[in-house]
Amino acid sequence: MLSFENDYAEGAHPQVLQALVDTNLSQQPGYGADDFSQSAAAKIREVCRTPDADIFFLAGGTQTNAFVIGSLLRPWEGVLSAETGHVNVHEAGAVEYTGHKVLALPQADGKLSAETVRSYLAAFWADPNHSHMVFPGMVYLSHPTEYGTLYTKGELQAIHGVCQEYHIPLFLDGARLGYGIAADPTLGFAEIAASTDVFYIGGTKCGALCGEALVFPQGAPDHIDTLVKQRGALLAKGRLCGVQFDALFTDDLYTRICGGAVQLAMEVQRGLLDRGYPLLIQSPTNQQFVVLDNDTLAALSQEIRVCIWEPVDETHTAVRIAVSWATRREAVQQLFQVLDKLRH
Amino acid sequence: MLSFENDYAEGAHPQVLQALVDTNLSQQPGYGADDFSQSAAAKIREVCRTPDADIFFLAGGTQTNAFVIGSLLRPWEGVLSAETGHVNVHEAGAVEYTGHKVLALPQADGKLSAETVRSYLAAFWADPNHSHMVFPGMVYLSHPTEYGTLYTKGELQAIHGVCQEYHIPLFLDGARLGYGIAADPTLGFAEIAASTDVFYIGGTKCGALCGEALVFPQGAPDHIDTLVKQRGALLAKGRLCGVQFDALFTDDLYTRICGGAVQLAMEVQRGLLDRGYPLLIQSPTNQQFVVLDNDTLAALSQEIRVCIWEPVDETHTAVRIAVSWATRREAVQQLFQVLDKLRH
Amino acid sequence: MLSFENDYAEGAHPQVLQALVDTNLSQQPGYGADDFSQSAAAKIREVCRTPDADIFFLAGGTQTNAFVIGSLLRPWEGVLSAETGHVNVHEAGAVEYTGHKVLALPQADGKLSAETVRSYLAAFWADPNHSHMVFPGMVYLSHPTEYGTLYTKGELQAIHGVCQEYHIPLFLDGARLGYGIAADPTLGFAEIAASTDVFYIGGTKCGALCGEALVFPQGAPDHIDTLVKQRGALLAKGRLCGVQFDALFTDDLYTRICGGAVQLAMEVQRGLLDRGYPLLIQSPTNQQFVVLDNDTLAALSQEIRVCIWEPVDETHTAVRIAVSWATRREAVQQLFQVLDKLRH
Amino acid sequence: MLSFENDYAEGAHPQVLQALVDTNLSQQPGYGADDFSQSAAAKIREVCRTPDADIFFLAGGTQTNAFVIGSLLRPWEGVLSAETGHVNVHEAGAVEYTGHKVLALPQADGKLSAETVRSYLAAFWADPNHSHMVFPGMVYLSHPTEYGTLYTKGELQAIHGVCQEYHIPLFLDGARLGYGIAADPTLGFAEIAASTDVFYIGGTKCGALCGEALVFPQGAPDHIDTLVKQRGALLAKGRLCGVQFDALFTDDLYTRICGGAVQLAMEVQRGLLDRGYPLLIQSPTNQQFVVLDNDTLAALSQEIRVCIWEPVDETHTAVRIAVSWATRREAVQQLFQVLDKLRH
């Protein structure tokens, strides 16, 4: 059955897979010291315009989030996150497992505002009892957010400014970064690298079989290798991520394939609106959120798989329709055909 | 430069890679619910003759070790391991990071004996102060060991018997299991499944790009999925491991390719002995350990990469020569040619 | 300077101290096996009407909270708490340090409602993605709350009913339990023991130098001793707590001295209302919360120490006035004299 | 029954208890900000000749050990300890619970040598794979050791020299420090403060009801208060430790009472040797270790309680006889009378 359930239903982009085939028997050192990882890192430094960046390749998003938060925070610190942030809700307590608290903040459309962050930090430091509280030691945000929304360049810079004022790092979770950059190129790799302290470029949902490229724009702290090993996140065949990211960052493959997906997602959005289905949220990226009456949802689900997001009221449900680099225009047309059929 | 440095220098066996190519665009659910993971699990249940086994696919060995030990031990327990065990020495404290102690025991050739384990357990329970000590809650062993050595079926059964007597699980780390089973088929999948409580079948070093198949022969405890997620070990594209293990367990590919490697390793061993180089240890599997004088080692290293294992005395060094499924006979011949050249 | 800043400004009730003096040179085994701890436990079992209860004495409240939550939760679980709960705000992340998430719920006057708890649990189990979320594995509440408020017997029973329905334990933090029971004896030791799975009777703030009596009404799980040792919470001289609780539970000393404090606190409350100072919250226990204009607060603070609780608006501040077993009526009169002087 | 089982069988030295009585109703701020803690700290700075030292009072030894090791080590580090060290054997895995490995080293009479430490450190840094290993990040030693033995000033300085060379802190566990300093005043407070980076002065076993004074001779790192709270080790009534240590460090009470115990212990030692009982180990401090035949032990145990240490052979057992500040000469005479009676 055709699926729009998520953006990780297929394998890798064919060019990524071909790169794995082409390099397969080249003997390489392990643990990320291979030529391909080095080459991929160099290309990422180039697009980020950060010649001193340190780059590590990890296998998945939750792993990367927990690693960054758990290894950069100091023992008395927690991480600020939107209450809807992936680290706060859908990672089974991976951050707390590292011993640190997620300090959840109010959000709008999945986004934090600089003002919210500043208020929290100001109130914390003004509290005479703050030495008995968890110190806010990092800001986490996702871009695109869990709702497909995006920060503007100005919004990101404003949050980064607050972080710098309070001397805490800003960490951007870019599990779907390619779709974000394709949708708004004014907040591209270089701008993100300039306005964060650490971020990652998602591979798993953007063309790779697995892998996230963790970027420290101004260089990483010492001993990251050992900590990656300790947390079970070090692949013996580091080449697996290296080869894939090397291919994704050759000839702009990464942003090109994500751009195609965003274009299709906009067609999905327009098609839904044209047919009178209201959006739950206005997402400019590859995830679209639409409200369906439950009868339509039930009938649709007979033919096409979508993701149940949340109940809206007793007779309506919000649904996520995820487009990816692998989605073909024919699939979108089929979606509309089914919807049109249901309306008659 | 030709390398015998380790057994993870290449990518995946070509048939494994081809399976990734063939299945690439099939839409599948995430997190291990895909058809390929199901199929691979069924095949593994078959070879293990354990119809009720639960099987999970994780990305790497340290991750799997820390996951099993950290999630099966109860809070007051630690894990018994040979002092040379990977978990005790070369995983950067991954077990302790989960909050548990590795209780290191004396070993011989990398192996624990049932007697050593029994003595420790008996002394622990006889100690009037044992409630202030770490309770031994699991036995960990690797097969093949870090020195390439193997347990016999009788030895494994004896250790398992002690574990059962003391009601603690036996965990077998099979990062290189294929080479072990190829070298001694009398301790095969079914025999291991019958004499352990949990074990894993290594993929990373035995033909896959990544991945270890974690097997609970009598079924897994509840909530493993959530814990795998929490520890950052859940791949969104679970198919990545599923497809590979499905290929490896089709037509005995796994044991066949490991068997070829063991044959070549035996040729290496004989060739070294024929040329008068003493072995550090008698290994029947794909890793060979030989003692070289330092001049020979220096000259050899100009042409072929090997792994420095440990100093033996002031003028000799033990070296590991690792063969894998990817090693060609020509490479072995080249090794001997270089050694022969050095002797003249 | 006279202080109403908190309820732990003095040492121990004289009878408690005398008991330490009287028993001082009796030789006793360590770690809680002493006669006094046994006797205290027997007396607590008696007032709780729980002949099978297991009772442990720990040194302080944060330690006890973190111990109970961290050792009873299973690895995939978190604890539900009012967002104002001490464990969520003022314990420096002690729960998260044990690896578990505090799942914060909306509250009213510091209290959770059965309905709030039930809604959360129902929504969690109905969520199709709950296996990627932290499982709610315990309910934590404080009685009296951080705002001095109390659950009624019916409210506690209702919450306990929800917990039983969902098979999770209810944990009651009784750091100030004596003041609660004195204020509302219809929810006494026996009623609390009947409607919780684990709770503690606070000593530090109720007449002891230190110490909390942790009660498992239906018996404790195994290995608590070892975990108490592991978490650094086992006193070698367990008698220190044993002697104190033995004295506190002789002739109702515990509730008598707390009752005196509650009476004085009610006089404070009436005196404040009579003088026109509004209460922040209606507290029936030993902590009173009053709103003062900032000028009054500044002048008062020259003569009497109170606890700044939180800003109310630009010209008013909420203040906590804490009465304890050690507060004398003269001190309350002095407080009023200062306030009366300030009003002229 | 008379007991020599341990050195924490009684309460507090009468002068310590009297100080608690005398100060009982003085209102003091909590959490260690009280006058008595300040005064005690000043006196400790004085005897240590470290005007810049930071001093914290914790409740017990295991708590202090786990706190120091867990909060000073960086995440990739472990602690070096004698394999017989309390932290390695008898603290129920408290260090590992903080996520760090105890790296156990060979010992003699419970002591580490500078040479053993240096060898380990040199081998670690020379190992090409050390980035996959636990970094040795601190040296832990106890003084007196678990066997009652002492480091000489030269030995301690030598170990400290190795630590400084490798830039890792030296931590001295002084749970029984008073007995050590009384036995060998050439390694006194000032000398220990000069040759360690952090140490503690044990109160629990040296005259107090509870409490250990943690000393950072050159000042503590930031945020210790918050970490003490987070680890459940912060007493609300910090005065409890403050008053006791203030009394113990008035007029040399601490070393005087420990000195009396050491004198009696030497009488015990001589009396045992005179009667032909061999020592297990030559201890100059308050714990004496003697080998008894099992018949003697059984008969002795009918009248006097001693601590079974370990079996020596099939017919002999090593026994610990612990003397403390509370032991009277009459008790020692009674011990000898019983032994003499048994020999007839």
Which residues in chain C have their CB less than 8 angstroms from residue D243's CB? Answer: 11
Q: Does the beta-carbon distance from D100 to B89 stay under 8 Å?
A: no
Residue of B nearest to A210 (CA): B237
Q: Say yes or no: D242 and D268 in one domain.
A: no
Beta strand A287-293 pairing with A316-322: antiparallel
Q: What is the pLDDT of residue C343?
A: 79
Bond before D136 cis per omega within 30 degrees: no
Q: Does the beta-carbon distance from B232 to A234 stay under 8 Å?
A: no
Q: Say yes or no: B248 and B258 in one domain.
A: no
Residues pairing with B235 in the sheet: none
Q: Does the beta-carbon distance from B230 to C131 stay under 8 Å?
A: no
Q: Does the beta-carbon distance from B230 to C76 stay under 8 Å?
A: yes
* Beta-carbon pairs below 8 A across chains C and D: 151
First to last CA, chain D: 22
Mean pLDDT value of segment C259-283: 97
Contact C184, C140 (CB under 8 A): no
Q: Does the beta-carbon distance from B92 to D132 stay under 8 Å?
A: yes
Q: Say yes or no: B114 and B157 in one domain.
A: yes
Helix (H, G, I), strand (E, B) or coil at A201: strand
pLDDT above 70 covers a percentage of chain C that reads: 100
Q: What is the pLDDT of residue D242?
A: 98
Q: Say yes or no: A268 and A323 in one domain.
A: yes
In the chain, the amino acid numbered B28 is Q
Domain CATH number, residue B303: 3.90.1150.10
Q: Say yes or no: C242 and C113 in one domain.
A: yes
Task: Give A141 to chain D, closest Cα distance, Å.
Answer: 24
pLDDT grade for C317, boundaries at 50, 70 and 90: very high
Element spanning D162, H or E? helix D153-165
Task: Give C317 to chain A, closest Cα distance, Å.
Answer: 13
Which residues in chain C have their CB less than 8 angstroms from residue A98's CB? Answer: 99
Q: Say yes or no: D174 and D147 in one domain.
A: yes
Task: Give A132 to chain D, closest Cα distance, Å.
Answer: 6
Would the ipTM clear 0.90, i.e. be above it?
A: yes
D257 CB-near residues (< 8 Å, 6+ apart)? D13, D178, D206, D207, D325
Per the prediction, chain B carries an average pLDDT of 97
Q: What is the pTM of this model?
A: 0.97
Which residues in chain A have their CB less than 8 angstroms from residue B326's CB? Answer: 25
Which residues in chain D have their CB less than 8 angstroms from residue B91's CB? Answer: 132
Q: pLDDT tens digits, residue range C138-189?
A: 999 999 999 999 999 999 999 999 999 999 999 999 999 999 999 999 999 9
Distance CA C46, CA B260 (A): 73
Tell me: pLDDT of C344 over 90. no
Q: pLDDT tens digits, residue range D208-267?
A: 999 999 999 999 999 999 999 999 999 999 999 999 999 999 999 999 999 999 999 999
C42 CB-near residues (< 8 Å, 6+ apart)? none
Q: pLDDT tens digits, residue range A283-321?
A: 999 999 999 999 999 999 999 999 999 999 999 999 999
Q: Say yes or no: D239 and D303 in one domain.
A: no
Nearest to C235 among D25, D59, D231 (CB): D59
Task: Quote the distance between the C-alpha of residue B334 and its chain's center.
Answer: 28
Q: Say yes or no: A318 and A289 in one domain.
A: yes
Distance CA A326, CA A332 (A): 12
A320: left (phi over 0), alpha (psi -120 to 50) or beta: beta
Contact A266, A81 (CB under 8 A): no
**Number of residues in chain A:** 344
Which residues in chain D have their CB less than 8 angstroms from residue B133's CB? Answer: 89-90, 92
Nearest to A59 among B24, B59, B226 (CB): B59
Neighbors of chain A by Cβ distance (3+ pairs < 8 Å): B, C, D
Token pair of B127 as six digits = 């100690």
Going C183 to C189 to C195 to C199, the CA torsion angle's sign is positive
Interface of chain C against chain A, CB under 8 Å?
76, 78, 89-93, 96-102, 104, 128-129, 131-134, 308
Q: What is the pLDDT of residue B344?
A: 74
Mean pLDDT value of segment A256-260: 98
Q: pLDDT tens digits, residue range B91-119?
A: 999 999 999 999 999 999 999 999 999 99
Token pair of B170 as six digits = 């036996």
Distance CA D230, CA D224 (A): 10
Q: What is the pLDDT of residue D344?
A: 74
Q: Does the beta-carbon distance from A205 to B236 stay under 8 Å?
A: yes
Helices D14-22 and C14-22 sit at what angle, rounded to 10 degrees?
170
Distance CA B208, CA B212 (A): 9
Tell me: pLDDT of A200 over 80. yes
Query: Which letter, b or e, does each residue of C160-174 get, where b requires 16 or more Cβ atoms within 10 Å of its Cβ?
Result: bebbeebebbbbbbb
Q: Does the beta-carbon distance from A27 to B93 stay under 8 Å?
A: no
Q: Say yes or no: B105 and B64 in one domain.
A: yes
Contact C200, C174 (CB under 8 A): yes
HEC letters along B141-181 = EECCCCCCCCCCHHHHHHHHHHHHHHCCCEEEECCCHHHHH
Helices A329-343 and A253-274 sit at what angle, rounded to 10 degrees?
10
Q: What are phi and psi of D38, to 5 degrees?
A: -65, -40
Q: Does the beta-carbon distance from B223 to C132 stay under 8 Å?
A: no
Task: Give A341 to chain C, closest Cα distance, Å.
Answer: 28
Task: Give B190 to chain A, closest Cα distance, Å.
Answer: 28
Per the prediction, chain C carries an average pLDDT of 97
Per the prediction, chain A carries an average pLDDT of 97
Element spanning D297, H or E? helix D294-301
Domain CATH number, residue A198: 3.40.640.10
Q: pLDDT tens digits, residue range D165-187?
A: 999 999 999 999 999 999 999 99
Q: How many domains does chain B have?
A: 2
Which residue numbers in chain B have pLDDT < 70? none
Contact D182, C213 (CB under 8 A): no
Task: Quote the distance between the C-alpha of residue A143 and its chain's center.
Answer: 6
Q: pLDDT tens digits, residue range A101-111?
A: 999 999 999 99
D122 CB-near residues (< 8 Å, 6+ apart)? none
Which residues in chain C have their CB less than 8 angstroms from residue A97's CB? Answer: 99
Distance CA C291, CA C272 (A): 10
Interface of chain A against chain C, CB under 8 Å?
76, 78, 89-93, 96-102, 104, 128-129, 131-134, 308
Q: Does the beta-carbon distance from B226 to C131 stay under 8 Å?
A: yes
Which residues in chain A have their CB less than 8 angstroms from residue B97's CB? Answer: 230-231
Nearest to A92 among B12, B91, B229 (CB): B229
In the chain, the amino acid numbered B234 is L
Residue of C nearest to B67 (CA): C75
Q: pLDDT tens digits, residue range B186-204?
A: 999 999 999 999 999 999 9
Q: pLDDT tens digits, residue range A156-172?
A: 999 999 999 999 999 99
Q: Say yes or no: D186 and D248 in one domain.
A: yes
Q: Say yes or no: B122 and B235 in one domain.
A: yes
Residue at which a domain ends, from C220, C252, C284? C252
pLDDT grade for C271, boundaries at 50, 70 and 90: very high
The sheet with strand D135-142 has its strands ordered as D54-58, D212-216, D198-202, D170-173, D135-142, D77-82, D102-105
Token pair of C260 as six digits = 């005196």
Task: Give A100 to chain D, closest Cα distance, Å.
Answer: 11
Residue at which a domain ends, from C200, C223, C252? C252
Tell me: pLDDT of A67 over 80. yes
Task: Quote the distance between the C-alpha of residue A182 and its chain's center.
Answer: 13
Which residues in chain C have their CB less than 8 angstroms from residue B75's CB? Answer: 71, 223, 227, 230
Output the DSSP codes for A81-143: EETT-HHHHSSTTHHHHTT--EEEE--BTTB--HHHHHHHHHHHHH-TTGGGS-EEEEEEEES
Q: What is the pLDDT of residue A344?
A: 74
Q: Say yes or no: A123 and A156 in one domain.
A: yes
Token pair of B96 as six digits = 């302790």
Distance CA A124, CA C292 (A): 22
Identify the domain containing residue B272 by its residue range: 2-7+254-343
Residue at which a domain ends, from A252, A275, A299? A252
